[in-house]
Structures are given as C-alpha cells and as structure tokens.
Structure 1
Amino acid sequence: MIPFLDLNQVNAPYLKAIEKASLKVIRSGWYILGNELKSFEKSFATYCQAAHCVGVANGLDAITLILMAYDFPEDSEVIVPANTYIASVLPVVYLGFKAVFVEPDPVTMLLNPEKIAEKITMKTRAIIAVDLYGRSCEMDLIMELAQQHGLKVITDAAQAHGAVYKNKKIGSIAHATAFSFYPTKNLGALGDAGAITTDDEALAEKLRYLRNYGSLVRYKNDFQGVNSRLDEIQAAILNVKLPFLDPENDRRRAIAARYLSEINVKDLVLPPGDRTQDDAWHLFVIRHPDRSKLIAHLDANGIQTNVHYPLPIHKQQAFREYQDLQLPITEQIHEQVISLPLNAVLTDEEVAYIIQTVNHFDYPQ
C-alpha cells in the first residue's frame, strides 16, 4: 500500500535533530515564550519576506486573532471562499460576524476575484483569501479591490508554506497572513502550532498581547486576550525543519509536474499547471464525476487517497443557517475532488506506479 501520507517517513530524516532540539528545551526549564519562539519568529518572517511573525497555538487561532486585533464592529461582514476547510470560516462566526460566501473559480477552485465585488456591502470589513491546496489566490486583483473599498485582506496560508505569487512569498502580500503548522502541512510541527505574518507593526504588537491573555507584562492586561502561544518545543521542531522546506517543496513540484504531464484519463480534471514552480503543492487535487469508482480502483491497487473535502461548509450541520445558499460550483467540486498522494518522501517508482494506475482506470465501468 502506498499511504496517502506517512508522517513517520516524513519526519525520519530530521528525527535526531528534533530529539536533540526538544531535549534542549526540556532541560532548559523554559517552555513558553522563550528563545526558540523568538528564533523561529525571526527566521519565518525572513523566509516569508515579511516584517513580523507572531507565533500562536494553531492556524484557527491565527485567523481568529487577526480578526480580533482589527476590532471590527459587531455587525461586520467578512467575505470568505465557499470552497475551503471549515477552519477558514469558523473564526468569522465565533466572533459574531456574518460570513459572506463567494463561489470559486471553476478551474483553480480558489476564491474568484470577479465575484467578490458583487458581495461587498457597507458592512463588509475584510476578505479572507484561502490559498487552498498550496496555490496562491489572485492577490493583485484581491488587494486592488480591497484598497478601493477600504477592506482588510487576510490570507489563510495553512496549505501554502513557501508558495510564491509574482515573485513574492506568501506571507508578505496580504495585510496579515495566517499559517498552520499542523503535522501534515508542508512545514509541520509534531503537534498543533501556528503563526501570523504581517508588515503592520502595530498589528503585530497587538497580536503579541492578544495571544497572551492581552498582556506583555505579567499581571498587567491591556486587552481582553486569549491563551494561544506557540510553545518552545514546537518552535524548536520548526526551527529544525524550516531550512528543509524549500527542498521538500521542490520535490513536491517535481512530482506534481509528472502528474500533470503524464496522467491522462477520460473526464478526469487535473489542477492547473500554469504555476507549477510557484505553487507549494500541499495537495494534488483531481476531479472526476465518478469519484467513488476511481477511489475504489486506486484502493484495490494499493494506493491510498483522500477527499479534501467531502461536504461544503454551507451544507454542514454546524452552519445550518447557511444551508439554503445556492453555490453550485462549490457543491460540484466537493462531489468530485480526490487527493492523490503527494509528498517529499514518495519515490520515483511510487510516483510512476500511481500515474500508471490512474491511467488504467476504465471509465465508465
């Protein structure tokens, strides 16, 4: 069986360095807001070509804290992509704002800038652009639209570590960018972890307060904050793995290039290949009208796949107030998508076998 993702294999090359770094933290007696975090924040900001990085507990909190820091009015509306993971939208409703769903581009499956303008009202305060699957949204168009209407742009880059848009690293383009370092990400910790990058010094400073109960000085609270801190052990692990992010992404790009050039199946839709060397390729998501049969075919031949994501947000029970929305592009995407294995530890032989097996899918059966 070729697993969809084997984290033991992914982390094996760095295991000794991770153990050494973790033991150093354990023996230091300092586990929260210490030197490992400072080091990672500096390194990751530099990597993303951003002025500031603020480490937080996870990617969900990263988006939540950005929205909190902007202190929008209670009746604010936030534009979100209809095709995304639920974590991109939960912070909006947590804070009492209205999520305004926008259909994706049917080719890229990302937020469609042409449809954003239709949804902007006097109450709109922000746009959350999700770099889903590791591909950047059309940030020039989104930033231009935001400037015209005085809106903030927040990028959810949980799947886009190291992605590039027009020679700019993701993390340096939007007003603020949220990252997750969940273990399965291109840059993964060994637990929950996240960060925010921004060029806005005042925003970064407020975020440092908010992540720590609203305090920078112990027992002196200037804001009503939360407990959301990137701990020292996870920061140390990320410090070990960050230098290898680009080489791993390059391997992902090489695999993606093979998939794009060699997979050829009737009615199967491949992701766009116009930015192969810029995308981070966190996932390689294909579409087929008979997803279940293709998954069964691959499984029978020892290839594990995944579905990101089977049910759109507006059809989830947790978002039942949005269930009457008509979002046909989003719904079709969620009925058809399949993620093939794509990670830096796949061998050339495994990649060739995956391609061969996909191409042997007989449709219709």
Structure 2
Amino acid sequence: MNKILFLDLVKMHEPIKKELHDAVIGVIDSGHYIGGEELKSFEKEMAAWLGVQNLCGVACGTSAIFAVLKAMGIGAGDEVITTVHTAIATAEAITLTGAQVVFCDVTADGFNLDLDQVEKKINSRTKAIIAVHLYGQPVDMDRALAIARKHNLKLVEDCAQAQGAKYKGRKVGTIGDAGTFSFFPSKNLGGFGDGGAITMKDAAQFRYAKMFSNHGRESKYDHEFEGINSRLDAIQAALLRVCLGKLDEWNAGRRQVAAWYDEGLKGIPQLKTPQVLADSEPVYHLYVVVVPDREALARHLKEKGIETGVHYPYSLNVLPAFARLKQGRGHFPEAEYACGHVLSLPVSPSLSKNEIDYVCDEVRKFYK
C-alpha cells in the first residue's frame, strides 16, 4: 500500500485541474484582480447554494467573524461565549472587537458546545454566542437558538469546518443570525490561499460588515467609517467558483469515507468513533476518534505509511495567549481530556475503500 496522506489536495483537484488553470488565466487576462465579476459571481453562486439572500467574500475566516461581531455592535465591555475546543481564530475575533471571550466546555459525548453550560455563563454583559460546527458536525441549533432568543442574544455560526453540513435539512450558516466561513485550503470548500465569507440575516448589519471589510466604504472614496482591508481577491473567487461546483460531490465522498471508517472500526473497545447528532448531516471535515494512547497509535500508523493529525493538542484555556483569563488546566475537563486523546484519521473524497480498509486493519492490529 502506498503512503496515505492525511489530505491529498493534488489528487483531489486532479479531475478539475484544467478548469482551475483556466480560471486563473481568465483573471490574469481580465486585468481585474480585486473585486470584479469573478467575486460578484462567486458571492451570488454561493448565496444561492446556501439558500440565502446575501453573501460577502472576505480575506479569511478570522476576519469574517470579526466583521460580523463589529456589525452587531459588539465591543469593549461586552462578552461573547464560545467553545474552548476550537482553533484560536474564533476567540481571536472576539478579542479583536474589544469584547471579552467567555469559554465554555464541550459535551461529554461529542466535541461541540455544552449548551447547558452556555446558559449558566450568560450575564448582563453577554451579547452573543458563537456556535462552532466543529469537525463538520452541526451543533444542536434548536437548543442554541432557544437560548439565544430567551436571553436576547445574537447567535453566530462558525462554519469554517462545516460548509454544506445540515441541521434538520437546513445548511449550517443559514440558521442563526449570521454565518461565517473559511476557505483555508484544507477546508471542505478550500481555496488556494486564505479566504472566507459571511452571511447575515439583518440587511443593515450585513451592509455594515461588508463595508467594514472594505475600509468602511461601498464606493472607492466614500468612506462612511473606518474599517479594515479584508477582501476576497478575484483569483481566489474564480478558483472557488470551480470548487463550489464540486462541493456537494466532495462532501458525499467524505460521508462515504466516514461510513467505511464506522464499519471498519466497529467493535474496538478502546476506540470511540464520531457521534452524530440526530437530524443532522455532517460533512466530516475531520474524522476524529478518541483513544487512550494517541501517541503510540499515531506512531504505529506512521510506521505503516498512514498520516494522522491532532485537532487539537491544547484547549484554548491552557495556551499562553489566554493566561489573562486565569483558567488553566482543570477548568474545562471534557475539552482537556479530548485534547489528550483525539486523533484525526485521513479523510478526503479521493480516498478509496481499499485505503480506508488498510487504515482500519492497522488500527485493529495495534489493539490486538
């Protein structure tokens, strides 16, 4: 068996290589590299794919969250609740507004926000909840919405790892007050560099977020307020248009890979496979298992030519970046346990059943 990469983007893009090359050449030949028709077309096409009225491309997923929170009027003196088990970008965006990030633990049977704990952390300073659909697994949005509405809070969906995932038939990013997306190359809808997008239900807030991401303007010199430079460039938009046309197929491929893993890893008492929320359709940005001896298993798989990953080795509360919160080890036991025991197995729509069977066989051999 050849080496199994954690994510082989070259192999995944091979069938659309000519379309991707043509897209780049088309932008170069047009002479329009910032904004332009490719960006407008991508925004329109992704909005239609999501089933929303408005979508704005931005420079990355971090600035997408930042712009949304700014548009909601969140700033100094406010608090925003989110998961402690996520990439730092979610928390960074909160801090950038001047607000205080309030971490919450994850559930014992999964990796998403523990909504019981969320409600306990709400106070007069709380202005929003950011629900991260981690690993492509949707959060319980009915419960999250109910909590947000009960306390008059904004609900932001961080869909960086979940483009196309569904909750009760609705795509994530369309259920809360706002949805944010990342097009980092490894994402389900990955670009060829950084990129992101936002969608918001409130038209006035969407206008503000879009302007904020382009120096506070709608036309070249008409700056209504100070903003930032966070634009999705034309080449990325052109490439993402090609990939968007393949996304449903790619997500179906990831779900097939996950089904092969579920079957192949069944019955291993030491290993816990991903739990799927009822009435949801995950997109398996990552296929994450929980094991008692992660490093040893990872070494064994590496020796057999199988790449793995760890998402994430640390919960955010233990990082130096958040030492100011004084919430070191022991404050979020479920997330901290996960960070010591999660292992991400290779997952890509380009993987074959033979390759997944090989991974499963090697995991079984390790636990014999």
Once the two structures are TM-superposed, the CA of residue 274 in structure 1 deviates from its matched residue by 5.2
Q: Following superposition of structure 1 onto structure 2, how do residues 1-365 of structure 1 map, counting pairs within 5 Å?
A: 1-263=3-265, 264-273=267-276, 278-325=281-328, 326-362=331-367
3-state DSSP of counterpart to 1:233 = helix
Once the two structures are TM-superposed, the CA of residue 91 in structure 1 deviates from its matched residue by 0.8
Once the two structures are TM-superposed, the CA of residue 290 in structure 1 deviates from its matched residue by 1.0
Could you say if the C-alpha distance between residues 356 and 134 of structure 1 is closer, same or farther in structure 2, counting changes exceeding 3 Å?
A: same
Once the two structures are TM-superposed, the CA of residue 198 in structure 1 deviates from its matched residue by 2.2
Once the two structures are TM-superposed, the CA of residue 277 in structure 1 deviates from its matched residue by 7.2
Could you say if the C-alpha distance between residues 185 and 73 of structure 1 is closer, same or farther in structure 2, counting changes exceeding 3 Å?
A: closer
Structure 2 residue ranges without an equivalent (≥5): none
- Contact residue 276 and residue 282 of structure 2 kept, 8 A: no
3-state DSSP of counterpart to 2:309 = coil
1:78 & 1:179 partners in 2: Cα distance? 18
Once the two structures are TM-superposed, the CA of residue 118 in structure 1 deviates from its matched residue by 0.3
- Contact residue 256 and residue 276 of structure 1 kept, 8 A: no
3-state DSSP of counterpart to 1:221 = coil
2:325 & 2:18 partners in 1: Cα distance? 48
How many percent of aligned residue pairs carry the same amino acid? 39
Counterpart of 1:302, as a letter, is G
Counterpart of 1:126, as a letter, is A
Give the TM-score taking structure 2 as reference length: 0.96
1:274 & 1:200 partners in 2: Cα distance? 28
Once the two structures are TM-superposed, the CA of residue 72 in structure 1 deviates from its matched residue by 2.1
1:347 & 1:93 partners in 2: Cα distance? 42
2:41 & 2:300 partners in 1: Cα distance? 47
3-state DSSP of counterpart to 1:245 = helix
Counterpart of 1:347, as a letter, is S
Once the two structures are TM-superposed, the CA of residue 262 in structure 1 deviates from its matched residue by 2.1
Give the TM-score taking structure 1 as reference length: 0.97
Counterpart of 1:295, as a letter, is A
Q: Root-mean-square deviation (CA), in Å?
A: 1.3
Note the alpha carbon deviations across 1:238-279, whole angstroms, 9 max, x for none.
Answer: 111111101111111111012112203232111114569710
1:79 & 1:274 partners in 2: Cα distance? 21
Once the two structures are TM-superposed, the CA of residue 93 in structure 1 deviates from its matched residue by 1.3
2:303 & 2:237 partners in 1: Cα distance? 40
Once the two structures are TM-superposed, the CA of residue 99 in structure 1 deviates from its matched residue by 0.8
2:13 & 2:33 partners in 1: Cα distance? 22
3-state DSSP of counterpart to 1:61 = helix
Could you say if the C-alpha distance between residues 114 and 274 of structure 1 is closer, same or farther in structure 2, counting changes exceeding 3 Å?
A: closer
Could you say if the C-alpha distance between residues 175 and 302 of structure 1 is closer, same or farther in structure 2, counting changes exceeding 3 Å?
A: same
